[in-house]
């Protein structure tokens, strides 16, 4: 919560709530959760705030490394942050606090990110496409150009990416050709992947997706959609689910297949 400058933990069964890490996050953005640890990107502090949900402690990591953190994905001791100002991926070592930049200049205006093995998929609003980044080689290529003019959330399931798009008012499904991510990423041009077979792009119609202004996807049976672009999160297991809409709070829409 940007106004309260904290995390609000809500008990979905009882409806009760409590504030965590008050004052620690003046302008929160993307979030990533790993067990009892919550990572929150903060636009004002230009860093990642690590919050221990068990003992309620918190600390700032990678100060100044991420001036405009938009999306995050965690893998072991490494936290990958798509930064809009650095226009690259910031890889933060959570053990020693060091960081390095990957695929500089590859992303212009990142909003969402999904990870699959050594591959990062970043939704770029400026380029209106998905940028696929090979973490090991720091190489990249643009896929599904024009398919996602305003990506606001993304999950990967099998060979497909599901992208919630604010302009298209629904879900765009991008299906990769067989072994698409495993195709050769070496190229005569540095940091560029060669052109490969084009992924299949299809839109899940608005009447099926039930969305008019999607901003977030959560998996494991629940999808949360916010009309505010900064608040979204991806859980550790990406399983897209579409179901009926419950219009509860003024600023929230909750989708689920089992209420």
Q: pLDDT band for position 148 (50/70/90)?
A: confident
Residue 170 has pLDDT above 80, yes or no: no
Instruction: Kindly write down the DSSP assignment for every residue of the chain, as one continuous string.
Output: -TTTTSEEEE-TTT--EEEESTTS-SSEEEEEEETTEEEEEETTTTEEEEEETTT--EEEESTTT-SSEEEEEEETTEEEEEETTTTEEEEEETTT--EEEESTTS-SSEEEEEEETTEEEEEETTTTEEEEEETTTTEEEEESTTS-SSEEEEEEETTEEEEEETTTTEEEEEEPPTTTTTS----SSTTBPPP-PPPEEEEE-HHHH--SS------TTEEEE-SSTT--EE-SS------EEEE-STT-EEEES--
**pLDDT tens digits, one per residue of 177-190:** 765 554 544 433 43
Residues 251 and 155 in one domain: yes
Residues 65 and 7 in one domain: yes
Assess whether 182 and 253 both reside in one domain.
Answer: yes
- Within this chain, do residues 61 and 153 fall inside the same structural domain, yes or no? no
97 and 165 in a single domain? The answer is no
CATH code for the domain of 89:
2.120.10.30
- pLDDT tens, position by position, 80-108: 999 999 999 999 999 888 999 999 999 99
114 part of a folded domain: no
Structural domain includes residue 142: no
Q: Looking at the structure, tell me whether residues 26 and 97 fall in a common domain.
A: yes
Give the pLDDT of residue 39. Answer: 94
Do both 10 and 80 map to the same domain?
yes
| Total domains, the chain | 2
Could you tell me if 70 and 160 lie in one domain? no
Residue numbers of the domain that contains 187? 149-259
Where does a domain end: 102, 137, 164?
102
Does 52 fall in a domain? Answer: yes
pLDDT for the residue 5: 85
Say what the pLDDT of residue 108 is: 93
Indicate the residue among 102, 135, 161 that finishes a domain. 102
Q: Is 119 part of any domain? A: no
Identify the weakest region by mean pLDDT among 46-60, 87-101, 107-121, 173-187.
Answer: 173-187
Is 82 within the bounds of a domain? yes
pLDDT digit string, tens, across residues 192-235: 444 445 566 666 655 444 444 444 444 332 333 433 333 333 33
**Domain-embedded: residue 15:** yes
The verdict on 89 and 153 lying in the same domain is: no
Answer whether residue 219 is part of any domain. Answer: yes
Domain boundary among 68, 86, 102: 102
Higher-scoring residue by pLDDT: 167, 87: 87
Residue 77: the pLDDT is 93
What would the mean pLDDT of 230-247 be, rounded to a whole number? 32
Q: Quote the mean pLDDT of the chain.
A: 74
Asked whether residue 130 is domain-assigned, the answer is no
- 92 and 174 belong to one structural domain: no
pLDDT for the residue numbered 58: 94
């Amino acid at each position: 919560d940007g106004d309260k400058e904290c995390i609000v933990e809500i008990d979905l069964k009882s409806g009760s709530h409590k504030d965590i890490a008050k004052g620690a996050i003046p302008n929160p953005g993307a979030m990533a959760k790993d067990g009892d640890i919550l990572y929150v990107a903060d636009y004002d502090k230009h860093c990642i705030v690590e919050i221990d949900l068990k003992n309620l402690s918190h600390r700032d990591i990678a100060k100044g490394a991420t001036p405009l953190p938009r999306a995050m994905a965690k893998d072991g001791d490494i936290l990958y942050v798509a930064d809009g100002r650095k226009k690259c991926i910031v890889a933060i070592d959570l053990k020693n606090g060091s960081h390095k930049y990957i695929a500089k200049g590859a992303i212009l205006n990142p909003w969402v990110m999904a990870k699959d093995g050594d591959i990062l998929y970043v939704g770029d609003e400026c380029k209106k496409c998905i940028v696929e980044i090979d973490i090991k080689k720091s190489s990249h290529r643009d896929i599904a150009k024009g398919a996602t003019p305003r990506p606001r959330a993304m999950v990967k399931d099998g060979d497909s990416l599901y992208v919630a798009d604010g302009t298209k008012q629904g879900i765009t499904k991008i299906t990769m050709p067989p072994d698409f991510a495993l195709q050769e990423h070496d190229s005569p041009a540095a940091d560029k992947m060669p052109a490969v077979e084009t992924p299949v792009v299809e839109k899940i119609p608005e009447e099926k997706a039930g969305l008019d202004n999607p901003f977030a996807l959560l998996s494991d049976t629940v999808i949360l959609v916010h009309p505010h672009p900064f608040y979204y999160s991806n859980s550790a297991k990406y399983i897209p689910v579409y179901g009926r809409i419950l219009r509860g709070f003024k600023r929230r829409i909750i989708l689920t297949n089992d209420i």
